[in-house]
A and B are shown apart, each in its own frame.
Chain A
Amino acid sequence: QSALTQPRSVSGSPGQSVTISCTGTSSDVGGYKYVSWYQQHPGKAPKLMIYDVSKRPSGVPDRFSGSKSGNTASLTISGLQAEDEADYYCCSYAGTYTWVFGGGTKLTVL
Chain B
Amino acid sequence: EVQLVESGGGLVQPGGSLRLSCAASGFTFSSYWMHWVRQAPGKGLVWVSRIDSDGSTTIYADSVKGRFTISRDNAKNTLYLQMNSLRAEDTAVYYCVRGSLYTFDYWGQGTLVTVSS
Contacts and interface: CB of A to CB of B under 8 A. Distances in A.
Interface stretch (A13-21, A47-55, A70-78): A47-55
Interface size class of B (residues with CB under 8 A): 20 to 34
Given A45-B108, A45-B109, A97-B50, A34 B103 contact: yes
Most buried by B among A51, A89, A99: A99
A97 B59 contact: yes
A7 interface: no
B45 interface: yes
B107 interface: yes
Nearest to B93: A45
Given A34-B102, A36-B104, A96 B44 contact: no
A100 interface: yes
Interface size class of A (residues with CB under 8 A): 20 to 34
Given A34-B102, A93-B102, A97-B59, A46 B47 contact: no
B57 A46 contact: no
B105 interface: yes
A100 B105 contact: no
A51 B103 contact: yes
B46 interface: yes
Contacts of A46: 45, 95, 104, 107
Given A45-B95, A96-B59, A97-B59, A57 B105 contact: yes
B102 A89 contact: no
Given A97-B50, A98-B61, A38 B102 contact: no
Given A1-B62, A32-B102, A101-B45, 6 more contacts: A45-B107, A57-B105, A89-B45, A97-B57, A98-B61, A101-B47
Interface of B: 35, 37, 44-47, 50, 57, 59, 61-62, 95, 100-110
Interface of A: 1, 3, 32, 34, 36, 38, 40, 45-48, 51-52, 57, 89, 91, 93, 96-104
